[in-house]
Copies of this chain bind each other. A is one copy, B any other.
Amino acid sequence: MTIKIIPSGSVSSPSGFQACGVKAGLKRSGQPDLALLYCEVPATAAAAFTSNLFAAAPVLWDRKIIAAGQPVRAVLVNSGNANACTGAAGLAAAEAMATQVAAELGLQPQEVLVSSTGRIGVQMPMDIISAGTRLAARALSREGGIAASEAIITTDTRPKHRACQIELGGKTVTLGGMTKGAGMIAPQMRLCTPQATMLAYITTDACIEREALASCLAASLDQSFNRIIVDGDTSTNDTVIALASGLAGNPCIQSGSPDWEKFQTAFRELVAYLAKEMVLDGEGVTHFVELNVSGTGTDQDARRIAEAIARSPLCKTAWFGHDPNWGRILAAAGYSGVEFEPAAVALDYQGLPIVRNGQGTDTPEEKQSEALQNREIRIDLRVGNGSGKFTIWTCDLSYEYVKINADYHT
C-alpha cells in the first residue's frame, strides 16, 4: 500500500471540510486564537479525552456529544483560555460557544464540538468569543486548514499539520490532521486516553462506520500520543477528534476488514507524524529522544521503566547538555519499581554500546557525547531476556523550558 503525502496538506484537504483561523483577541500577543473546522455534510465522529479529574468544560460538553454517537458538523477551538476549573459558568460558556456556532452555520448545538487551550481558571470572555465566532463563520474555506492549525497553538513555535492519500476500493481517500502541544505533555496510560495540553484533529473523506473510526483512533493512540512525554504533566483539556465526511465514495469501511487495515495504517502514520512533531516542538526542546526499552516480562513493565527515564529531570538535563551520564538512566530504571537483574543491563546511544552487563563499556566519552549531539537521539535499553518492550518519544529539559513556564501568561 502506498501512502502519498500531500504537500502543505491540512484538515481541509479531505473532501467536504472547510476551516479557518482568526484573531478573536484572546491572546495578548494578538496572534490568531480561534479556529473553526466545518464539515459540509454530517460527519461520523470519534474522540478521546483527558483522564484528568479536572476535565475542562469543553471536554465535558464534547464527551456528552460523542457518547450520544450522533454525527458532528463543526468544531470550534480557541487558544488563550483553557476554560478549566471554571465551574458552572465555564460549562455554560462551552455550551454557548457551540450554540453560537450552530446559529451562525444553521446547525444544532449538539452537532458542534468545542475545544479550549490556554490558562486554567479564567472565565471565558464571551464577548470576544462571540465576535470571533461571527468572524470565523464567514472566513471558512477549503484552503483554511493551515490557518486553523496556526490559531490553535499556544507556546508552540510553529503550526503542525499534514495530509495524505491512499487508494481504497478504487477510490482516492484523503486524511488530514493538525495538532498543538508544547507543554503539559505526558501519557496517562491508566485509562488509555490521550494526554497532555494537546489538541489534535483528524479529518477524512473516507466512508467509515462509526465504530470502525473509533477503533482506528483507539488503536492509533498507543502508537502515537500515548507514547509521548514532554514534561510529564497531564492536562485538563487533552482532546483528539476524528471526523469522516464519507465523500470519497469508497465502500464503507467496517472494523477489522482489509480496508480497515489499510485505512488504519494511513491513519496511524498521520497521527504518529503529528505526535512526533509535537515532541519536536515541545517547550524549549532541543533534542528528540526515541527511547526503546526491552527485555522485561511485560510491555507494561517496559513502559514503567521508559516513563521513569522520560520523566527524570536528571536524564533530561543531561540530554540537553550532551552529557553521556548513563548512570542517570540506569538509576531511573532502578527506581521505576520494575524488578530486573542490574548485572544484565545493556544500553546503546545511537547504536553505540554504552553499557554492557550493568557496567560502562570502553566507548570513549567523546564518542558518547558526540552521539548525543544529534537533534534526534535513539536510546536502547535492554534489561533482560523477556519479550516485553515499549517505545517512548521524549525530549530534553532546557533553560528555555524553565523560562517559558516560570512566567506563562498567554
**Which A residues are within 8 Å of any B CB, using their own CB?**
51-54, 82, 84-87, 119-122, 183-184, 186, 188, 190, 231-236, 311-314, 317-318, 320-321, 323, 325-328, 330-335, 337, 339-340, 342-343, 355, 357-360, 397-399, 401-403, 405-409
Contacts of A325 in B (CB 8 A): 119-120, 408
Smallest beta-carbon distance A153→chain B, Å: 18
- Contact in complex: A323, B358 (CB < 8 Å): no
- Contact in complex: B54, A85 (CB < 8 Å): no
- Contact in complex: A87, B52 (CB < 8 Å): no
User: Can you identify 18 A-B contacts, CB atoms within 8 angstroms?
Assistant: A52-B334, A82-B327, A87-B343, A87-B357, A120-B331, A190-B337, A232-B313, A233-B313, A234-B331, A234-B334, A236-B327, A313-B401, A313-B405, A318-B405, A320-B402, A321-B406, A399-B399, A399-B403
- Contact in complex: B402, A331 (CB < 8 Å): no
Q: Determine which of B323, B332, B359 lies in contact with A407 in the assembled complex, contact meaning CB atoms within 8 Å.
A: B323
In the bound complex, CA of A233 to CA of B355 (Å): 20
Q: Determine which of B320, B331, B335, B358 lies in contact with A406 in the assembled complex, contact meaning CB atoms within 8 Å.
A: B320
Q: Determine which of B231, B328, B407 lies in contact with A313 in the assembled complex, contact meaning CB atoms within 8 Å.
A: B231
Contacts of A343 in B (CB 8 A): 87
Contacts of A121 in B (CB 8 A): 326-327, 330, 355, 359-360
Q: Is the interface of A mostly helix, strand, loop or mixed?
A: loop
Contacts of A332 in B (CB 8 A): 233
Q: Which of A87, A119, A122 counts the most B-chain CB atoms under 10 A from its CB?
A: A87
Contacts of A335 in B (CB 8 A): 51-53, 186, 188, 233-234
- Contact in complex: A408, B313 (CB < 8 Å): no
Contacts of A337 in B (CB 8 A): 190
In the bound complex, CA of A320 to CA of B121 (Å): 20
Closest B residue by C-beta to A234: B335
Contacts of A232 in B (CB 8 A): 311-313
In the bound complex, CA of A233 to CA of B310 (Å): 11
Closest B residue by C-beta to A383: B53
Known A-B contacts A190-B337, A340-B53; A317 and B401 likewise in contact (beta carbons under 8 Å): yes
- Contact in complex: B407, A402 (CB < 8 Å): no
- Contact in complex: B358, A317 (CB < 8 Å): no
- Contact in complex: A85, B358 (CB < 8 Å): yes
In the bound complex, CA of A313 to CA of B337 (Å): 21
In the bound complex, CA of A99 to CA of B43 (Å): 77
In the bound complex, CA of A351 to CA of B275 (Å): 41
- Contact in complex: B317, A402 (CB < 8 Å): yes
In the bound complex, CA of A330 to CA of B234 (Å): 11
Smallest beta-carbon distance A379→chain B, Å: 16
- Contact in complex: A321, B359 (CB < 8 Å): no
Known A-B contacts A335-B52, A402-B317; A120 and B327 likewise in contact (beta carbons under 8 Å): yes
In the bound complex, CA of A328 to CA of B320 (Å): 24
